Structures are given as structure tokens and as C-alpha cells.
Structure 1
Amino acid sequence: MAVHHATAYAKINLALHVRKRRADGYHELETVFAFLDQGDSLWMERAEQFSLKVEGPFASNLEADDCTDNLIYRAARSFGDGTIPNVSFRLDKRLPIAAGLGGGSADAAAALRLLNENYGAPVGSERLHAIAAQLGADVPACIDSVAVVGRGTGTDLEPIQNDVSGLYCLLVNPNIAVATGPVFKAWDGVDRGPMPEGSAKTILLHGRNDLEPMALDMCPEIGEILRRLAAANPIVSRMSGSGATCFALFDNADDLVRTSKEFSRQYSGWWTMSGRLR
């Protein structure tokens, strides 16, 4: 039986501008998604019935007898128009939960890619993105996992000049989960202006993350991470999504390796991941 593999690439937000709170409780956003070349690993093979096995350093956060709340299961059900495909998934969960990295969204997108490429007749890109949008705001961007502008709730995607591809990236998380909902709820409602125009790097350099102050109130360790990252003189250091993961981008591998080693030595209980942007 053939086993197929996909990487669920870690997502970061190069900038995240919150423009307004909508009547339905969601928020109008402007963001640029970018993706590390590392993340969770997902394997799929045909089976007599659907199953999902989760392993890896963050597997305990997802362990449950009932997998129907897992985004991989929901992705499979949506792909099958309500009929659960007879496949077996195995997930190596390397990304922390509630971390601002879109880990669950990336897992769902990886499942959709695997199903579309290896189970039945494939659907077109437009249909695949429509299925993804039903699952969560970050999932459509995770389908292709390349730099892209997101508007609306994040599901309205626009292409962008990807001049950040190849930059070296360090992710740091204090191993503290920060739920997305309370961070957005704490947003003060002040529109601080639109996201800059231009390439991904231009927006990276001149954009901001409007959720950072709210997440910082809930998780003060974010401030320490950002201070330490800034001291390494990266191109930019910033919080991703609703936190608590922060990233630093570098031009060369030596600075990345040095900074990663410093974090590992001084903060052994914190999670880090290194790679390059896709």
C-alpha cells in the first residue's frame, strides 16, 4: 500500500493589520502570510476506514478518543462532501498548539493536498481553496504555503512579489499557549491604518502586528523574546499571528545558528525552530 507524505509548513505573519470588528464578531484584516520550510509531517495511505494517529513532541495536546474535532478529520470530511474517505493519517506534531503558527490550519491544508493528489479524482484549485475556507481563516493560504496577501478574515488571497524567499528564520515560543479568540476580543478597536503597499519585504519592513500589545498583556514572556531577538540584529523581529510565537529573519545562516544556540542555552524550556522562508 503506497504511503504519501506532505509537510504542514509553519505559517508566520510578516505583518498583521486589524482594521475593524465586524458585526458577525470576526475582524477585517490585512496580512502577509509567509511560510517556513519546516513544520509538521503528515502521512496518508488507503485503509479500510478512516483513522488518525498523532505522535511527536506536541501529540499530547491533541490526544483524544474522538478525532472528529481535529482539523484533519474535518478536512477529510469536507473533501468527501460529508463522506469520510477510507484513509489512514499519521501526524508528527512538531509545531506547538495555539502558537500563532497556523499549525492546525497547515495540517488541514496538508491533508487536503494529499487527498486531492492521491484519492479519487482531483478537484481544481478554486474548489480546493473553497473547501479550505470552510475550515478556517488561515487554511486557504496554507494550501500553497507561499507568501501571499490575505484580506477579509484572511481568506481573500492576493499574489505578492515574494522577495523574502530564502531568508533565514528563527521561531521562538515560550511553551505557553495563547488562544486566538481572547486576543482578538481584547483588540481596542482602533484602526491604525492600512498595510503598506509593495513587495513582501517592503511590507515586512514597514508593517506591524496590531495584536502584539494584547498578546503581550496575556503572555509577558513575548516581550522578553522580542527583546532578545532584537538584540541579535535581525532584518526584522516580530510576533506572529496572535502569539505567542515570535520570529526573527536573517540574511545569513551564521546569525541564525548563533541566535538559535543562544536561546537554547539561556531558555532551555522554550521551543525553537529554524529554517528558511519558502
Structure 2
Amino acid sequence: MQESRLFSFIDEKSAFTLHFLHGGKLIQDIVQVHNIGPMAYEFYRDSILTSMQMLNFMKATENMGFYIDSDEPYFRLKIEMNEKGTMRTLLLPEEFEDFPKTVSGKARVTKAFPNKTPYSSVIQLKDHPAADIVNQALKDSYQVQAKVSVGHADLSVMFSKLPPSKLSEKFEEIIDEPLETFLETHKDLVPEIEKQDFVLKKADESSIIEFFTNKGLTYLGSKEVKFYCPCSKERMAANMATLSENDLKDVFKEKESIEVRCDYCNTIYDINQSELKAQ
């Protein structure tokens, strides 16, 4: 398996879903694009692996942005994705003086659909554990009982309890247990996953499915998760064309063209003044 994939399963006895992200290729591709320093790497990696589990709650044609605006320590994290599984991201600055154990500031979840006004929810953070921000967003923005855990390998696992309406519709007899009890029962799952050949060696989709179905779970499906930036020279030119005439004069300073870099993928575009006049 050459790509990163997000697998979904269901425990029909307890009405919990389990979602497993094998994210090695995704993290590898992002590291090749962004020059992340060693102190920032673990936080950046874990933030990506946990936030990509939000894909499980996205609807058709939906685009979603997850943002952390941290004041202490200062940094800005942006993760944007669509329901098809493509995402782009950036972290500024790309290095920290120390690994952030807690964060004060705010997190934002923005959901957007074509031809509709975007919806945003804001989560205030005060000395909030850095590793738990996505779980707080799931609770506050999605109002679900869910918990995401990250392994030492490039993987994450999310347990999510189906809402009561879904339980009565789909299951006649279930073991109705709280999230905390279910998590305690499966507390050794992530360490066990990390010992499997599909993590230690070459990933194999059928081996992943077999591992979880052997634990009594029913396979629901999977989707590829990959880094992709939809930027283009035309989009860059269109954005620059919104600047005032005086600002454009300052930008070009009697030059015919300038180089513009996309913050998300570091692609550099050569923008000519004549291209802006055509906008």
C-alpha cells in the first residue's frame, strides 16, 4: 500500500465506530514540503494525524478548515481538507523553542459547502493540553462522544460512540456503555497495532482489514488521504489583483514580474504585471 488510508469499522455489540489512519505516506509528503524543525515536528505530526480523523464526520462536497491560533506559545496552525480526503497544511513558525505541552489562544473549525455561507465554531483555549485540542474540537464543534489517540508510528485511532438515534434505528440489542469504559477496554489497542507487520513493514490493506475484523469489528470502508494543494498561477494572480493600485506599485517597484510563493506547498510562481491587468 503506497498511500495513506483511513479505515472505518464498527463494533455492532457496543455501537462504537473505530477509525484507523495509516498516515505514513501523508506525513512523509508533508515533511518534504515544509522545513519543520525538530522541536515542532512532533506537535505538527500529531496535529495532522488527529485532525484528519475529522474526515469521518464530513458530508459530501464539504470543505473543512481546522485552525489553531495560539498566543502562548505563539504559532499558527492551518489544516484544510475536503471530504474526498485531500488536504493541505502549514505551521508558522516552522520551529519552536520548546515542545508546547499546553496552548492558550483559540481553535477554529470552519465548514463550507458550495454556494452556502461558511459556518465557524470557536473553541477558547486556556493552558489546554496540546495533545487534546482535536478531541476538544470534536466535543464542542461536532458534539460527539469520540476520542483520538496517536501512536509512535505515523498512525491514529479514533473511537466514536454512535448517537442514540442511530442506536435505536440500527441495533436491537446493544451493550450501552460510556466512552470512558470503551476506551479502558481497548486501552492496549494502539500499542498492539504498532507491533503489526502492516506498521513495522510494508503496509498491506488486506492485512489491516483482517486485523480489525478478527477483533469482532465489521469493515465499513476506507479512503485515501493525501496532501494536495489546489493553488495555481491564475489563483495567485487573481489574489494579487485585489490589491490597490498603490500597493501593486510598491510590490513591483518598477519590475515587470515578481516571484510569489504558496505558503501551503512552497510552489513559486512568476507573476507578470500584464497578467494582473487581465484579471
Structure 1 and Structure 2 fold alike (TM over 0.5): no
Larger radius of gyration: 2
Relative to the length of structure 2, the TM-score reads 0.32
* Higher strand fraction (1 or 2): 2
